[in-house]
Amino acid sequence: MKLLQEGVFLVAIFFFAYTQQLVKGQHQPRKDCQTKCGNITIDYPFGISSGCYYPGDDSFNLTCDEKQNLYIGNNTEVKTFNHSSQLSVMFNRFSFCNDEQRNSTNETLIGYRLGSSFSLSATNKFYLVGCNALALLSTFGKQNYSTGCLSLCNAPPVENGECNGVGCCRTDVTVRSDSNIFQYGSDRFVNQFNASEGQFKTSVYQFNPCTYAFLVENGQFNFSSSKDLKNLRNLTSFPVSLDWSIGNKTCKQAGSTSICRENSGCIDSTRGKGYNCKCLEGFDGNPYLPNGCQDINECTTNSSTHKHNCTDPKTCRLKDGGGFYCKCPSGYDLTATMNSTMSCTRPEYLRWTQILLGTTIGFLVLLIAVSCIQHTTKHRKETKLRQQFFEQNGGGMLIHRISVAGSSNVDVKIFTEEGMKEATNGYEESRILGQGAQGTVYKGILPDKSIVAIKKARLGDSSQVEQFINEVLVLSQINHRNVVKLLGCCLETEVPLLVYEFIPSGTLFDHLHDSIFNSSLTWEHRLRIAIEVAGTLAYLHSSASIPIIHRDVKTANILLDDNLTAKVADFGASRLIPMDKEQLTTMVQGTLGYLDPEYYTTGLLNEKSDVYSFGVVLMELISGQKAMCFDRPQQSKHLVSYFASATKENRLHEVIDGKVMKEDNQREEIKKAARIAVECTRLMGEERPRMKEVAAELEALTVKTTKHKWSNEQLMSGHILSAQGDTSSRGYDSINNVARFDIEAGR
């Protein structure tokens, strides 16, 4: 009995296992089922012919015609389908056409009956294309449902690609799962009434003869008024998406009887009834077939649906039984990013350190690159500009003439702009020695530590380049002890720079008028300075290879060295006189108070212009007063007028510098020096002596053996000029001439 019971129990277990295996295997296609129709692969639960599709539901029965087109149900063409829950088919469009005579061509409403396992997807849209028309979509089931839209227009709408109720309208599709029968269509209504004719009349037929109603997947149709209102681009069908599911039970209700196979799971259908199968994560294939879901290698698969989400592919690892995970190296944390990928990142403090370091390095590299580019560009521009200035300032001409003259005969150096900047510390204000009409003079220190004076000229006339080059060449060859030596020039700047020897003790103007130096020049010093300046001008006028007119002789342009030796400087206004000419016609240039009146009125420049200016300098040495002084009376503001008037009126003692008055000097020297000064400042240039004569007369004052001391009484009595004899003498006439000129000029 016991053995019988055990046998029955074993039989029951075997029968249960057999029935379970039968249930699991009863819904499988035959081995010889057709799996292709044209370009479409057919996967179970769909199939062609009995035994190849899911049994008991003819909704999954497909037909492949002789043209290799695939259909379901009542000749509904299939385009694509997948294992999950959707199928793409082609539905026809509905059209209603008429003309101006209201003759119409009516099509039968488009209608479809789907299998019980199919329903319209909510991703579809219902469209109407046409003017002054209405379209309706109706579904039938346990509860009927209708939707539609209205389109209005009396003229072709503006082309904007929008389906907004003007020429085109659309609406969403909401269908119940039990509504598998539906139909749709459209109709046009009259939109205008002509009161004069007493009848309706429409105006849209010419550009819109037909109205169209159709279903289409969302995103598969873009309205164009120019292309669609006439004939809908000759489109007769559109892709429509269908939802499908297995049976009427949910996953819970189906339980072990579901047809989902290994490595798959059951999910309730979005239709509201039935279920679908889906491969588990890490598997891909057909979940309705045995071994249909195959493990995939996400770490190497390029499929967009199965690709791993590890930011770095090297961190992707496969899981046993399917799936993957991202493994970070030591010192990194796994974090999710905004786009759902998994990234290995350092801890926060290390990450910020890395970001900061990388940003800093990147910024520095970028900064260095930009700086290099800017530096290179700037260097190229500066080089080109320097070359342009060099040629503009006559550099090529100067080099040519130096080569012609021979290096042994020309002692001039061409400095670079960079060298001049370094010598003046970037033209620092503290290096300025003086400023005048011709430019600014800086103290410069050359690389060999020698001190020079660098004159930066003001912007001048480019037409004078050749004369400037001639002047540089001539001055570079002058080796006169009383001329500030020109060491060289720089032609790479907008205006030329001249480099002179440095004279440390300021100008004669500074010493006479106490503007900088608190020194007292004796008559011996003053006479010697006058002799040195006169000799220098005589040399420039007569002994230089090409005569030179200084044109700006004044106490501010006479420098004194440590031994109070005079150095004539500032040849910026100087002009070269060709050997075949005695004078030049130039633009008047000079300093007020020293300017030759004849040159001022005629513009004719000759050596007598320098003689007049020297006469003013000699008057300054004797009187210690400035060439122009607005504190003196109106008729005496000009020193020449003041000096001449005092001489004429026997008031020379009023003119002589008080510091000289205190000295025990020879009255003859002062008297003769005053006479020479008056002669030099005659109104007419031809009446003035030449500089060679002036230098000789001044030199003669120092070799007189008879010396008479001045007395205050003699000076006060005005007898200084009485030794000259009659008042009609040359000296007196000179004074009269000068006096008359300056009085008239003062007016």
Strand partners, 276: 267
Whether the Cβ atoms of residue 521 and residue 658 lie closer than 8 Å to each other = no
Q: Which of 426, 539, 557 is nearest to 500 (CA)?
A: 557
**Residue bearing tokens 């300075």:** 529
Q: What residue type is 698 in one-letter code?
A: L
Annotated catalytic residue, options 243, 552, 657, 742 = 552
Report DSSP letters for 486-515, one per residue. EEEEE-SSSS-EEEEE--TT-BHHHHHHTS
For residue 578, say if its preceding peptide bond is cis, omega within 30 degrees of 0.
no
**Residue bearing tokens 């008991």:** 56
Q: What residue type is 13 in one-letter code?
A: I
> In a 3-state reduction of DSSP, which class is residue 331?
coil
> In a 3-state reduction of DSSP, which class is residue 49?
coil
Whether the Cβ atoms of residue 596 and residue 590 lie closer than 8 Å to each other = yes
Report DSSP letters for 247-258, one per residue. SS--HHHHGGGS
Where are the strands (E) in 458-587, listed by range?
Answer: 486-490, 497-501, 548-549, 558-560, 566-568, 575-576, 584-585
- Which DSSP state fits 540? I
Task: List the structure tokens of 658.
Answer: 């008080």
Residue 429 to residue 435: CA distance in whole angstroms: 11
**Residue bearing tokens 């290390």:** 350
664 is catalytic: no
The residues near 571 (Cβ < 8 Å, ≥ 6 apart) are 471, 475, 486, 548, 550
Residue 496 to residue 475: CA distance in whole angstroms: 15
> In a 3-state reduction of DSSP, which class is residue 429?
helix
Name the strand (E) or helix (H) holding 473: helix 465-477
Residue 625 to residue 589: CA distance in whole angstroms: 23
Where are the strands (E) in 2-93, listed by range?
Answer: 36-37, 40-41, 47-48, 61-64, 70-72, 76-81, 86-92
Q: What are phi and psi of 216, to 5 degrees?
A: -160, 150
Instruction: Say how many residues make up the chain.
Output: 747
CA distances from 381 to 375, 421, 459 (A): 10, 18, 21
**Which residues are catalytic, by number?**
552
